Amino acid sequence: MTKKQRNFWELFGIYTVVVIMFVIILYPLLWALGLSLNSGQGFYSTQIIPENWSLVHYEWLFFNPRSNYLLWYRNTLFVAFTVSFLATFIVALTAYAFSRYRFKGRKNGLYAFLLLQMFPVLMAMVALYILLNTIGLLDSLIGLIIIYVGGAIPMNAFLVKGYFDTLPRELDESAKIDGAGHFRIFFQILLPLAKPILAVVALFNFMAPFMDFILPRIVLRSPENFTLALGLFNFVNDQFANNFTRFAAGAILIAVPIALVYLFLQRYLISGLASGATKG
């Protein structure tokens, strides 16, 4: 086999895998969109390409007085933006400390971050429930935010620390010679250089409240405090008896803020993911 033929078959294999993955990803999305545009309510009577498409389910979500969808959307956006900002800021401070300082317990702290990533969050659900109930934050968006922020620190701090390690220490030393303190070095020198990895952390933490169902299911009780994932589950399971088309319409709209944030941060994402994994 010649080199030209080998290159052809390699490209053919790569594009075949890409096309297969594209179909696997696109198929359920098309079904969700098709379901949301069907005028009926049941799953089995719908089609992926509706003959008589309708926006009746979207109208119900936004304008029907019995719908809490906008309230759930507002709750989720509040949690997502708050968690994204607080988690990114705290993670950046933590990563800076572990990357630039040498202190007693630093090595054990890094090992603890790695160890905490090995255990699923489900293992701590009972403890988190008791803790929030004790401090009076059960059935509260504030309590949910605290858990999300705390859970984001171990994995993300290790990732950002790896990125900070790639930044030359000569930058810190030059700033110290000019009289800059630790906070000035952090805010004015390292943070601007760390935008790619911080964009990755911000996006991941922004997406979490939209995707997570189990934690809100345990923490939240009142319908007015529900996030979208929890609200839509009850929406299809209890209140409206398997109304999959309306559920699909609500699920489609979840992608809108995530897509907007992704487009806003996309120029940083690839370089951030690659650079954050270069050093541990």
Number of Cβ atoms within 10 Å of the Cβ of 66: 7
Place of tokens 């309230």: 71
Place of tokens 């009076």: 136
Residue closest to 200 by CA, chosen among 98, 123, 277, 129 = 277
Residue closest to 230 by CA, chosen among 32, 57, 72 = 72
Per-residue confidence (pLDDT) for residue 116, from 0 to 100: 77
Nearest-angstrom CA–CA distance, 125 and 129: 6
Per-residue confidence (pLDDT) for residue 279, from 0 to 100: 43
Between helices 56-63 and 244-276, what is the axis angle to 10°? 80
The answer to whether residues 258 and 207 touch, using CB atoms and an 8 Å cutoff, is yes
Residue closest to 206 by CA, chosen among 162, 262, 134 = 262
- Residue 179 corresponds to which tokens in the numbers above? 């009289």
Nearest-angstrom CA–CA distance, 249 and 235: 12
Nearest-angstrom CA–CA distance, 203 and 67: 29
Rg (CA), the chain: 23
Nearest-angstrom CA–CA distance, 1 and 231: 58
Per-residue confidence (pLDDT) for residue 276, from 0 to 100: 45
Q: Which amino acid is at 161?
A: K
Place of tokens 């070095």: 185
Residue 9 burial class via C-beta count within 10 angstroms: exposed 0-12, middle 13-18, buried 19 and up: exposed
Per-residue pLDDT of the chain (280 residues), as tens digits, is: 677 778 888 888 999 999 999 889 888 888 888 888 887 766 666 677 777 788 888 998 899 888 899 999 999 999 999 999 999 999 999 999 998 888 888 888 888 887 877 777 778 888 888 999 999 999 999 999 999 998 888 888 888 998 898 888 888 888 888 888 888 888 888 888 888 889 989 999 999 999 899 899 999 989 899 999 998 887 667 544 567 788 888 889 998 899 899 888 887 776 555 554 444 4
Nearest-angstrom CA–CA distance, 57 and 148: 31
